[in-house]
Amino acid sequence: LAMSSATSTASLPSGLAVLTTFPDVLIIPEIIFGGLVWILVASSRVPTPILQGWVMFVSVFCFVMSTTLLCLYICGAHGGSSSWVTLVSGCDNP
C-alpha cells in the first residue's frame, strides 16, 4: 500500500481515490499474490513442519495487514494524517 510520493502527504486519498495512482493500485496484485503464497506454503511438504508454521504465520500476517490497511485507507480512517505513510512503509517493507 505504498503512497504515490512522500511529498504528497498533505492530502492522502480515501475511498476509491486510493486506487487512482500506479503505486497505490499495486496493492491489488500484492493481495492476490499474497494469497497465492499462502496457498502454496500451506500445500508444501517440508522436512521440518515447525519452519513451515513460521513461514505460514508471516505469510498470513502480511496478507491480513495488507488487506486491513487497504480497507482502512478506503474508509478514510487516516483522517489525512501523514503518519500513515510511515505506517504503510513499515508494514510493506519488512
* pTM of the shown model: 0.64
Asked if the model's pLDDT at residue 64 lies above 60, the reply is yes
Give the three cell numbers for residue 46. 517440508
9-59 confidence digits (pLDDT tens):
446 667 777 777 776 777 788 888 888 888 888 888 888 888 888 888 888
pLDDT of residue 91: 59
DSSP notation for 26-67: THHHHHHHHHHHHHHHHH---S-HHHHHHHHHHHHHHHHHHH
Query: How far apart, in Å, are the Cα atoms of 8 and each of 13, 25, 38?
Result: 10, 16, 33
User: Of 79, 72, 57, whose CA–CA distance to 27 is shortest?
Assistant: 72
